[in-house]
Amino acid sequence: TFQYSCASGFPSVHHKSFCISRTRGIRGVDENVVRGVRSHFQLLRLYEMAAECSSLWAKGKLGGEDEDTVLTNDSNSSNDTATPAQQLCYTPLRQWSNSVQSHLTAVLLSGLVGLFDTPYPYLATQLLDLTKEYRAAPPVIAVTERDPHGWATSRIKHGILTCREEYSLDGLGASEFDVVGCVERAHGTSDGGAESKVLHFW
């Protein structure tokens, strides 16, 4: 579907690929579209950062043994010894969520038409809400059918963010299509509600 969208001349993004002109590069492309592509890559970075941090937590490479440990960003915190990659895992919840919302809004305000694959399925709630606000026409949601075994193998290899049960919608588990909602519910239950706190919630 990404290739068809590109062939039809619609500015589109798909994971780490994009098509915004008939020629390579951004020369002559509307600046709004270029900004949208840049925000797309920021969204992808934020999502992949969350997935990587989740993996580091699961492997015990961050914080203590208690997976519910709340870490702070003050100068005395244990994050001072973290590697540059691990340092990202101490980003405050609210900051991460606000950045996602800001870049998603920028994508929808740009001239991008086709938004394919990660991270958009995981931001479905916010994407649909913002589309009603910023786009004149409702979105066309295209779902392709894949071989179940192949898809499951791919998910095992690459992983998928799912909300912990206590932070999932109505406690039903998963909520993989509502990552921001999971963050907001986790943030709302953290002690003290301090903006500087981060929490392991996946």
The DSSP line for 43-57 is: HHHHHHHHHHHHHHH
Query: What CA–CA distance (Å, rounded) separates 112 from 129?
Result: 17
The C-alpha angle with vertex 190 and arms to 67 and 87, in degrees rounded to 5, equals 55
Structure tokens at 194: 């301090």
User: Does the pLDDT at position 163 exceed 60?
Assistant: yes
Of all residues in the chain, the percent with pLDDT exceeding 70 is 75
User: Does the pLDDT at position 201 exceed 70?
Assistant: no
> How confident is the model over 116-158, as pLDDT tens digits?
998 998 898 899 999 999 988 888 888 888 898 988 888 777 7
Query: What CA–CA distance (Å, rounded) separates 78 from 154?
Result: 34
- The mean pLDDT value for 5-31 works out to 84
- Band of pLDDT at residue 102, cut at 50, 70 and 90: very high
Of the listed ranges 57-66, 74-83, 131-140, the one predicted with least confidence: 74-83
The pLDDT of residue 132? 92
User: Does the pLDDT at position 106 exceed 80?
Assistant: yes
* Beta-strand relationship, 70-71 and 198-199: antiparallel
pTM score, two decimals? 0.79
Decide: 135 and 123 in contact? Cβ < 8 Å.
Answer: no
Helices (DSSP H) in 59-177: which residue ranges? 84-87, 93-109, 124-134, 148-158
The pLDDT of residue 158? 73
Query: What CA–CA distance (Å, rounded) separates 163 from 186?
Result: 9
User: Does the pLDDT at position 195 exceed 60?
Assistant: no
